[in-house]
Structure 1
Amino acid sequence: MAGRQRGVLVAIRSAVALHRLLDVLPVFDGDDRVRVRFTLVPGSRFDVDALTALDRTGARTMPWREACATRHDLVLTASPKGDLHLLPGPRALLPHGAGFGKALDDEGSADVPSGLDPVHLLADGKPWADLHALAHEEQALRLARHCPEARPAVVVGDPTADRLLRSLPAREEYRAALGTGPRHLVVLSSTWGPESLVARRPGLAAELLALLPHDAYQVALVLHPNAHSRTGGFDLARWMAPALRAGLVLARPHEEWAALLVAADAVVTDHGSTGLYAAALGRPVIGAYDGGHELVPHSPMARLLAETPHLAAARDLAATLEAARATDPRGPAAHAFAHQGKALPLLRGHLYHLLGLRPPATRVVDAPVFPVPTTRPQRPAVFAVRTEVSGDRVTVHRFPPDTPERVHHLAAEHPAAGPGPLQSAAVLWHHARPRPLTGHHAAWTASGWTAAALDEMPGCRTAAAILTRDRLLLHPRGRAPLTATTEPHREQGRSRHADPTAVVSAVHAWLAAGPPPGAPQTLLCDTGPVAVRVHLAPAEERDLDYEV
């Protein structure tokens, strides 16, 4: 018996349950005595993406009928719903969120938190789970209150919360992958269902993007995996196309949400448990739950929303963010996550006890750091620009073209912006692109392209070729071409760069303001979070002939 390989069955109903259990499975790393198989529990509306996500892992699966006919050494699940009592073997149940903060009227007893409902925890009046592994003693007390028939729970902490905390050193790497730079990253978090943020306030992301200067803020949206499953990637991209064009980051449903929380400067949340994970990281949290029946009173999520400022309207974000920075959200999170950093070692002992095995002598592997996001936000091709010129300082605020904000000119990328914006934009820019090392090719020079743009677009007042991050060729209408070089802002050993396309608008506005004779040829371009010096000089031959 000691040498027999033990079979662990992971029973999932949805992608969110799968993701939770994947955070648990490192307890078995390095142990060839344990074999893991997965099965899909029938009956969920959100099982399509679970199969897709499972396929990406390379895991081996077992049909439900076969799983019910096979004796397992351990059954792991993160949802109490479905006929789990039909799976033979000791069963361990973990929550698939944080804090049991929602009660869903259409999924069991009214006013009973989802995950603690006797309707799902009992089969024929008897508890089917042999082990409840919970994240905090408060959850164990609530389990005993709502379902006293359930077997006593063990408090082990939360493996996902531990993974988030361990990923904190990767914050700058995540921000670099997202193209955040010195901007403030505001993450909107939405659970699923009729009381979710995207159901109640579907236009909030687009409203924020229209009001927040692009060079000062980046906006991201984290949707519950069930929202991805229900809607599908195609329709999500179609519905959110205007916001995506304006630079919205839409997180993929697995793991990217966590990387975005680590990278965030603030999180706007409804009553979904993602807000508690943000609070555990100490991120400023802003509530955006507009009330209803789902939020469980006195739960950690309810406490968090009661103690953090509420965002009534998109225009109030700046003031609400200031209030959120003055509020420490980690108090409510402390009521959701115990034993921080110890969840996997504690859980390992209980799971190996159910397996009838002595845990390996080696230390349990630490929770892995979340991977770098692979989602790349679209680079906006059109901006409505407001500038303020004060001597040699130019402040630039850029917004989507449909912004309600007061603006001075339109700036557009050639050719990505399309015919309409290209015809009406006062500022046009074009990015130099890498050329193949072999084969025939033809290319504009920077001076040739800027001259052609001014020729073909009568509304264009300044055409610019972006040669490198810090070097531009600008051709103002009626003037000789200029070379503009920018100095990154350096502070405490860090370099911060402005978007060169913002620099183009700054120089355009400065020249349009009519600098007096003898005015300095160095100006300061201020985009909000960073101000860089821009040096102007007559165009150099190498820049005029640079291939774009």
Structure 2
Amino acid sequence: MNWFTTPLGAGGAHRVTVPGCRKVLVIVPSVVAGTRLFDLLPLLDSDFRVQTYFTLPEPDAATARFVSAAGGLVIGWEMALQHEFDLVLAASYRFIDRAPGPVLVLPHGAGSMKSRRRVRAAGPEAEPVHGLDRQMLTRDGKVQASAIVLSHDDELEVLAESCPEALPAAVVAGDICLDRMRASLPFREQYRRALGVEPGDTLVTISSTWTAESTFYQRPELYRELTGKARVAAVLHPNIWAVHGAWQVRSWLADCDVVVVPPEEGWRATMIASDVVIGDHGSTTQYAAAVGARVLLATCPDVRHGSLAYTISERVPRYTGDIAEAVAVPDFACLISSRLDRSGEILRAAMYRLLGIPEPAHAVPVSPVRHGR
């Protein structure tokens, strides 16, 4: 979009219909981050005091389509840096050192702490990290974010040890993604119908994160083997689609009788609809367990002791050919979030505190997830 047509452009004050708005900037470096950030935006709904802008620091076709499909007002990254914003929303620590305003950053998966023992790109000799390390949270000795969203009180304890100077910015807000999934549980049958699941059918979802340690690479035979046993859906990490391309993903699965769930939306509804989820160390497996699906592991690499993925690996059996061996993981939702069903109200309060205006009088919305098909 030509930035000169936006309220920020030259002469913008003469074009706007709603002047004087607080300005919110949403940094969308990827579809993964974008899907989580779009969970936050309904908290700003119906407020004529707020104008929201989107920017793509590393624009790619998939991310641009994702934001465009939502109707977001997009401005270029360099143009965004020429203006001050009242609130910047991010779901990654990338780029926030240059953010032109107070930043609220939240995790883009289950929990604020990584499951991997080391950063993938750093090599096997790198020091272990967990995602709340000082080197992640600070730049030039200064805490980068004004609000660091944590999902659980346990993470607050980790933060106090790893980067105590960041504690004033910490907001234990639970997990808004999980809260939306829990609010969507009454719509399970609708999601099943949208996926083409007939009454009495068993729906098995194969869930995969990205990289060569994932289900998609380690156990590709599952997409064919399971179709004779149940109705099968495939949930693939958006980075698989972004890196390899949608055509290639569909080509790889062309001879599999599976419902391939789009990367932008639909995975949450599919997890709710599923009878069994066969996954890996990715967040989708953890969310499936949190909403009561029976779970099996297709594969799992060496993960950080104490992480959510480690807990799954300890409690869930490996898939060896029998979906009847799938198990529920009791109380797993409480391991992801220590503020169950309260995330929206906590996050909205934090956002309006940074905006410097009172919260709206209406109740915080908690909307069910869409099925994406």
State whether residues 188 and 220 of structure 1, in contact with CA within 8 Å, keep that contact through their aligned partners in structure 2: yes
Residue identity matched to 2:73: R
Alignment of 1:431-450 (within 5 A): none
- Of the three residues 119, 130, 136, the one matched with 1:105 is 119
State whether residues 75 and 87 of structure 1, in contact with CA within 8 Å, keep that contact through their aligned partners in structure 2: yes
- Of the three residues 41, 47, 50, the one matched with 1:25 is 41
- Provide TM-score, normalisation by structure 1: 0.61
Percent sequence identity over aligned pairs:
37
- Of the three residues 308, 318, 322, the one matched with 2:323 is 318
Relative distance call for 1:195 and 1:25 in structure 2 (3 A) is same
State whether residues 269 and 289 of structure 1, in contact with CA within 8 Å, keep that contact through their aligned partners in structure 2: yes
Cα deviation 1:400-426 (Å, max 9, x = unaligned) = xxxxxxxxxxxxxxxxxxxxxxxxxxx
Relative distance call for 1:40 and 1:201 in structure 2 (3 A) is same
2: CA distance, partners of 1:91 / 1:81: 12
Please tell me whether residue 172 in structure 1 is matched to residue 195 in structure 2: no
2: CA distance, partners of 1:123 / 1:16: 24
2: CA distance, partners of 1:87 / 1:291: 35
2: CA distance, partners of 1:141 / 1:41: 32
Alignment of 1:373-452 (within 5 A): 373-374=372-373
- Provide TM-score, normalisation by structure 2: 0.88
State whether residues 101 and 273 of structure 1, in contact with CA within 8 Å, keep that contact through their aligned partners in structure 2: no
Q: Which residue of 2 aligns with 1:6?
A: 22
Q: Which secondary structure state, in structure 2, belongs to the residue aligned with residue 167 of structure 1? A: helix
Q: Which residue of 1 aligns with 2:3?
A: none
Shift of 1:107: 4.3
State whether residues 286 and 310 of structure 1, in contact with CA within 8 Å, keep that contact through their aligned partners in structure 2: yes
- Of the three residues 295, 299, 322, the one matched with 1:285 is 295
State whether residues 129 and 151 of structure 1, in contact with CA within 8 Å, keep that contact through their aligned partners in structure 2: no
Q: Which residue of 2 aligns with 1:356?
A: 356
State whether residues 90 and 104 of structure 2, in contact with CA within 8 Å, keep that contact through their aligned partners in structure 1: yes
2: CA distance, partners of 1:265 / 1:143: 36
Q: What is the aligned-residue RMSD (CA, Å)?
A: 1.8
Structure number with the bigger relative contact order (C-alpha 8 A, sep ≥ 6) is 2
Q: Which secondary structure state, in structure 1, belongs to the residue aligned with residue 322 of structure 2? A: helix
Q: Which residue of 1 aligns with 2:156?
A: 140
Q: Whose strand proportion is higher, 1 or 2?
A: 1
Shift of 1:162: 0.9
Q: How many residues align?
A: 348
2: CA distance, partners of 1:319 / 1:73: 52
Shift of 1:60: 0.4
Q: Which secondary structure state, in structure 2, belongs to the residue aligned with residue 330 of structure 1? A: coil
2: CA distance, partners of 1:194 / 1:346: 37
**Rg larger in 1 or in 2?**
1
Relative distance call for 1:128 and 1:169 in structure 2 (3 A) is same
Cα deviation 1:453-480 (Å, max 9, x = unaligned) = xxxxxxxxxxxxxxxxxxxxxxxxxxxx
Q: Which residue of 2 aligns with 1:203?
A: 221
Shift of 1:333: 3.1
Shift of 1:234: 0.5
Alignment of 1:186-197 (within 5 A): 186-197=204-215
Residue identity matched to 1:187: T
Alignment of 1:45-444 (within 5 A): 47-82=60-95, 84-99=96-111, 100-103=113-116, 104-107=118-121, 110-113=127-130, 115-152=131-168, 153-181=170-198, 182-209=200-227, 212-213=228-229, 217-243=230-256, 247-292=257-302, 295-311=303-319, 313=320, 316-321=321-326, 324=327, 328-366=328-366, 368-374=367-373
Residue identity matched to 2:144: W
State whether residues 112 and 146 of structure 1, in contact with CA within 8 Å, keep that contact through their aligned partners in structure 2: no
Q: Which secondary structure state, in structure 2, belongs to the residue aligned with residue 7 of structure 1? A: strand
- Unmatched runs of 5 consecutive residues or more in structure 1: 375-548
2: CA distance, partners of 1:202 / 1:285: 18
Cα deviation 1:316-354 (Å, max 9, x = unaligned) = 223423xx1xxx413333111122211111111111011
2: CA distance, partners of 1:50 / 1:340: 30
Q: Which secondary structure state, in structure 1, belongs to the residue aligned with residue 347 of structure 2? A: helix
Relative distance call for 1:296 and 1:352 in structure 2 (3 A) is same
State whether residues 238 and 263 of structure 2, in contact with CA within 8 Å, keep that contact through their aligned partners in structure 1: yes
Shift of 1:121: 2.0
Shift of 1:280: 1.4
Cα deviation 1:49-89 (Å, max 9, x = unaligned) = 1111011011101111111121110011000123x221221
Q: Which secondary structure state, in structure 1, belongs to the residue aligned with residue 350 of structure 2? A: helix
2: CA distance, partners of 1:39 / 1:119: 25
- Unmatched runs of 5 consecutive residues or more in structure 2: 1-18
State whether residues 220 and 251 of structure 1, in contact with CA within 8 Å, keep that contact through their aligned partners in structure 2: yes
